Structure 1
Amino acid sequence: MGMYSLATGLSTFNNRSAIKVRVIRSYLVREKKGSADLKSQELVLHDPEGNVIHATIPAKIVPKFSKGFVEGKVYTIKNFYVVSNWHTYKTSMNEYMMQLNHETIYKELRSENFPWFMYRLRPFDSLKGNSELNEKELIDIIGRVVEVYGPQEKKIGGNNARLIDFVLEDAHGQKLTCTFWDDHVNKIQHLYEAPSKDPVIVLIQFCRIKRGLRDGEVKICSSYDVTQVLFNLDYPEFINFRDSLTDIGYQTPMRSIVSLSSFSFTNTMDESSSKSMELTTIKEIYDNDKYGDLWVAARISGIVNPIDWYKITLQVVDMKGNASFLMWDRECQELIGIPATELYEKSNKNNQPLQQITQLVGKTLLFQITAKSDHTSYRNTPFPVLRINNDPQILKEHCSELLKLEDNDCNSNMQISLGDDDFLEGFLSDEAESPIASMPHVAVGDATEGPVKRCLLDQFSSTQSGKKQKEIKEIKVKLEKID
């Protein structure tokens, strides 16, 4: 290195060091949210070996460097302090950071021969299930946007805040849920308002890792001013990721979803598919005043408001009781497999119950609900649904009795005249139009999983319509029973 030090070789005892670095990130920090008063300018730098170090410029001397430190460019910097890295959320895990001062000098250099280490991308599988993750380290990730949820307004610490949720998918189909705040919302919101048919590749630079307190599931969050969101650039990182998608031919369509934010709860398969899942019954909730987030196995016996597509109240039953569950549009749409825009168009055409919703009657599912004192005191108050799981194996494990009851009640022997074309064609049209028959099981929040399998027999799929049959046959028909 000659006259230049590496980032790993800086010493607090020498404030005359010189370093040659590329600027990874440059951003301003305000005294407080919405304030015009500047607190500092922050830099993230890497040396020729890819070692990353953070640098700070106090507000009073920021004007001295107003013409310098453009992201991606290379500089030599000399005469700076080396101090302890005091940031809580760290762009660099180096023990020290640089602090520029009045004596600091800098100069832009030619960058053609300087190595490019702008991004330190972390694979999704290195985050999931990793108990050694350091949540104070800010990381970089890249993925395709496959779901975008509607922006939300929340009160945080008495202050108004905006957030938006979206889901990224890597080249292997693994997903991460992301929650971005405030100024970052605008960068994502356009994807929600106008979902792209082409792959939208996003590189998130310096984002926070957040692990769920109960389930340990990893989510990604923005981190104040340092987080940066980059879309579909011609950088090597984007090109390599795009090529990996082409190689495997993996294309999950993007979806925009009007819903509650997933920030208040976890939308993942992992917890709900755990063998340690503890279920309670509706009767136990009412009799024992059980409160909190609870899992209940129940069968949908009726739809209170099937016309209200963005939220529906379900009448549900289990082996020992009954209750009302409130299911919001996200869970409803994930279960049905139709985007909100299509449901909205269908509901506007006629003021009739949506067939896609009424077909949910008779389904047995695992619901995670929130139970509060109001629900047990006023039994007509519906329990909000947080998550849904209809994985066949998990249903079989946790609610075999309900499934047996469903099979016994829904299937009966009836004499049906095959000459009744209208009746049979009604089933045929149902089978053709409903997405439920062809989609796999779903856990809410999983963009690649489809809605619940329909509870209809397959016999009618091959029935020839338009021809009257004189003979009468014994056929088992799945009846959707509404209490």
Structure 2
Amino acid sequence: MSTNKSVSLLKAVKPYKQGWRIQVRLIHSWRQKTIYGGDSLEMIFADVTGDKIHCSCKRTYIQRTQRDLRLGEWHMIDVFSLSNATGQYRTTNHTYKMSIIEDTKISKSSYVCDDKFFRFADFEEIGNGTLKTHFLIDVIGQVTSLRDIQTVQVSGKDKKKVEFRLLDSSGQSIACCLWGKYAEQLDDHRQQTKDPNMVCLIRFAKIGFYRGEVQVTNAFDASLILFNPELPETLGLTNVEHNELALALIDPKKEKRVTRYQAEDWNDVDIKSISEINMATMEEDCKIICSIESIDTDWSWFYQGHDSCKKRAILIKSNSGNLASNEKPVFWCTSCRTNVTSVSPKFKLHLVVKDDTSTCKLMILDTIGKVIVGCEAVELWDGSYDEIEDPDVLPQPIKDLVGLSFCFGVTLGSENVSGGSEIFLVSQVLSGDKLLQIETNSEPITHVTDGSSIMSGGEVSAPEKNSQSSEEGSSTPFSKRKEKDQLEQTSTSKKICTKAIKMEKIKDD
């Protein structure tokens, strides 16, 4: 491996390729086991600027990764994959999440810096709703109103918990609750030190709500707790005056998150504005009328997919690292979990779209990608299996999408409503005899004239939703949302259909 390879900052890494090199410090790690993901090693890295990224390592690579990484040390990491960072509780605000893969190389770095890169949340911002609840935070404060540790029943099992308040240097306080091993750690420290001015630091804590008040708790096993840490903040937290007017906040989404089920006919679903879907509080399908503002080149425009299952296939490199001109490439199918050779490029487009109200990001998979681009992905592929080095170099038919207006059927899944994902999956594009009508009193949609919205030619057949969700980058399976929603549809942007859909190129005024 070349030692002259340039080092990238975390803010620069993007998922269009895997061949990045980063210099990072391991600031936290923990083991995690889930029903769906199995056993994994979760890690948080920070670079020299303090930017952080979450990294996940599957069981296959845990042993070698633990051998090469040491907590608190700086390392060089070469070659890794990146995916969209989602989840109800995210450890960093980085757009992407790292994964250790077969080709990942880890080596020691000579860089020296002892900064632990804490970024403490302001108590007032925690209480007034400024901070998004799906991001974990660092908090530090003096422990007050500490209650005795309790044992409670959770899902039929005994679990320890301890409640208290954290007081900041200005006298503001927030409610806290620690569970399980974290509760035991605090209780043990209290009994051993008898410290009346104990300072507690909770790293990667989650913001929740309990009895109408904002409450900070540990995020399962992802959190880290420290007592009286040697930090400048600790000195300012002893003997502060207690402000009895504790912060309180009602969950703005409390009792508003209602699961809504998929409509069977796309003509029956509402048309919504982009600002509405950005603020969505329930899972549903809807239509948006929008124009394409740009292609998001953080991502590659295609992936190599196994022709049988459509899932991503990863090239197996030869020992030399190069593929001979007469050698047929072999891939590992991530779904079938076997070596395959029948692969071909599949569309996976990431678009930035807009209407009169806002902008958002859409992901379009192969079935719909072929419709809007007008050809198969393989027809635009240059035949090279090398990683993309310049993501701004795009095939002309994809560039030509910019400025076009479309009516897309969009799926708002749990990853959007509660998981913090800002990328919406396109499940349908409407055209042909699928007509749209727009109420005369509705708000105008940018670049859509005469009520028309893209795509000329024949009808676009509706893709099978189960097959759509089986492709690369799918969202919540539709099989989990079969029943129709019985709630009254109250969207103020609901529109009815009158005019045929056309393709139009947006002209500058």
TM-score, normalised to structure 2, is 0.44
TM-score, normalised to structure 1, is 0.46
The structure, 1 or 2, with the larger RCO (C-alpha pairs under 8 Å, 6+ apart) is: 2
Kindly indicate which of the two structures has a greater share of residues assigned to helix.
Answer: 1
